[in-house]
Structure 1
Amino acid sequence: MSDFLFTSESVSEGHPDKVADQISDAVLDAILKQDKTCRVAAETLVKDNLVVLAGEITAHARVNYDEVARNTIKRIGYIDPAIGFDASTCTVLVAYGQQSPDIARGVDKSIDLDQGAGDQGLMFGYACDETPSLMPLPIFLSHRLVERQAELRRSGRLPWLRPDAKSQVTIRYLNGRPESIDTVVLSTQHAPGIEHKKLAESVVEEVIKPVLPKSMVKGKISYLVNPTGAFEIGGPKGDCGVTGRKIIVDTYGGAAPHGGGAFSGKDPSKVDRSAAYAARYVAKNIVAAGLASKCLVQVSYAIGVARPTSVMVTTQGTGKMSDDALSALVTKHFDLRPRGIIQMLDLLRPIYEKTAAYGHFGREEAEFTWEATDKALALKQAA
Structure 2
Amino acid sequence: MARSSFLFTSESVSEGHPDKVADRISDTVVDLFLAKDPEARVACETLTTTNRVVLAGEIRGKGIWEDGGWAPGVEAEIEAAVRAAVKDIGYEQDGFHWRTFEFSNHLHGQSVDIAVGVDSTDTKDEGAGDQGIMFGYASNETPELMPATLAYSHRILRKLAELRHGGDTRLEPDAKSQVTLYYEDGKPVRAASIVVSTQHAKGLTQAQVAEVVKPVVAEVLPDGFITNETVWHINPTGIFEIGGPDGDAGLTGRKIIVDTYGGAAPHGGGAFSGKDPTKVDRSAAYAARYLAKNVVAAGLADRCTIQLSYAIGVAQPQSVHVDLHGTGKIDEAVLERELPQLIGGATPRAIREHLKLNKPIYARTTSYGHFGREPDADGGFSWEKTDLVEKLQALA
The SS at the match of 2:299 is: coil
3-state secondary structure, aligned to 1:132: coil
Deviation, structure 1 residue 222? 1.4
CA–CA distance in structure 1, aligned partners of residues 322 and 260 of structure 2 = 18
Shift of 1:106: 1.2
Which residue of 1 is the match for residue 56 of structure 2?
Answer: 54
For 1:256-267, list aligned pairs within 5 A: 256-267=265-276
Check whether the contact 2:205–2:238 (CA below 8 A) recurs between aligned residues. Answer: no
Partner of 1:269: 278
Whole-angstrom distance in 2 between the partners of 1:234 and 1:93: 22
Amino acid at match of 2:343: F
TM-score normalised by L of structure 2: 0.94
Could you say what secondary structure the match of 1:214 adopts?
Answer: coil
The alpha-carbon deviation at position 380 of structure 1 amounts to: 0.2
Deviations 1:136-185 (A, max 9, x none): 000000100110111111112x3110000000000101111111111110
Q: Which residue of 1 aligns with 2:251?
A: 242
In structure 1, the residue matched to 2:388 is 375
| Separation (CA, whole Å) in 2 of partners of 1:100 and 1:111 | 20
Matched, 1:69 2:82: yes
Deviation of 1:217 after TM superposition, in Å, equals 3.4
Say whether the 8 Å CA contact 1:286–1:379 is kept in structure 2: yes
In structure 1, the residue matched to 2:195 is 185
Identical amino acids, percent of aligned pairs: 55
- In 2, Cα distance between equivalents of 1:241 and 1:278: 28
Root-mean-square deviation (CA), in Å?
A: 1.1
Please list the CA deviations of residues 114-141 of structure 1 after superposition, one character each: whole Å capped at 9, or x if unmatched: 0100000000000010000000000000
Provide closer, same or farther for how the CA distance between residues 325 and 215 of structure 1 changes in structure 2, counting only shifts above 3 A: farther
Whether 2:103 is the aligned partner of 1:92: answer yes
Cα distance in 1 for residues equivalent to 2:375 and 2:298: 21
Q: Secondary structure at the match of 1:163?
A: strand
2:113 & 2:334 partners in 1: Cα distance?
38
In 1, distance between residues paired with 2:28 and 2:332?
A: 39
Contact 1:20-1:44 within 8 A present in 2 as well: yes
Which one is further off, 182-191 or 109-118? 109-118
Tell me what 1:280 maps to. Answer: 289
Is residue 347 from structure 1 mapped to residue 357 from structure 2 by the alignment?
yes
DSSP-derived class of the 1:316 partner: coil
Please give the alpha-carbon distance, in whole angstroms, between the structure 1 residues aligned to 2:123 and 2:204: 62
Matches of 2:375 and 2:192, distance apart in 1: 30
Q: Does 1:143 align with 2:145?
A: no
SS of match in other structure, 2:160 = helix
C-alpha deviation, 1:215, in angstroms: 4.7
State the Cα distance separating 1:202 from its structure 2 match: 2.5
Partner Cα separation in structure 2 for residue 215 and residue 115 of structure 1: 52
Matches within 5 A, 1:283-322: 283-322=292-331
Deviation at 1:192, TM superposition (A): 1.0
Match for 1:196: what amino acid?
Answer: Q
Which consecutive residues of structure 2, in runs of 5 or more, have no partner in the other structure? 65-73
**How far is 1:218 from its partner?**
4.4
State the partner residue of 2:229.
220
> Is this contact kept in 2: 1:111–1:306, CA < 8 A?
no
Q: Is the 8 A contact 2:128 2:348 kept in 1?
A: yes
CA distance in 1 between counterparts of 2:298 and 2:213 reads 39
Which of 252, 255, 259 pairs up with 2:261?
Answer: 252
Local SS of the residue matching 1:319: coil
C-alpha deviation, 1:219, in angstroms? 4.6
1:323 deviates by 1.2
Once residues 227 and 265 of structure 2 are traced to their aligned partners in structure 1, the CA distance between those partners, rounded to angstroms, is: 26
Are 1:194 and 2:207 an aligned pair? no
Tell me the alpha carbon deviations over residues 202-223 of structure 1, each in whole angstroms, 9 at most, x when there is no partner. 3212x22111111533452212
Counterpart selection for 2:178 from 168, 171, 180: 168
Counterparts of 1:94 and 1:159 in 2: how far apart (Å)? 33
- Aligned structure 1 segments of 4 or more residues deviating by more than 4 angstroms: none
Equivalences for residues 32-43 of structure 1 within 5 A = 32-43=34-45
Task: Give the 3-state SS of the residue equivalent to 2:25 in structure 1.
Answer: helix
Distance in 1, Cα, partners of 2:364 & 2:302: 28
8 Å CA contact retained: 2:6, 2:184:
yes
Q: Which of 116, 120, 123 pairs up with 2:134? A: 123
Equivalent residues, number:
379
2:331 and 2:224 map into 1 onto residues whose CA distance is 33
2:156·2:217 contact (CA, 8 Å) conserved in 1? yes
CA distance in 1, matches of 2:210, 2:340: 51
* Residue number in structure 1 paired with 2:67: none
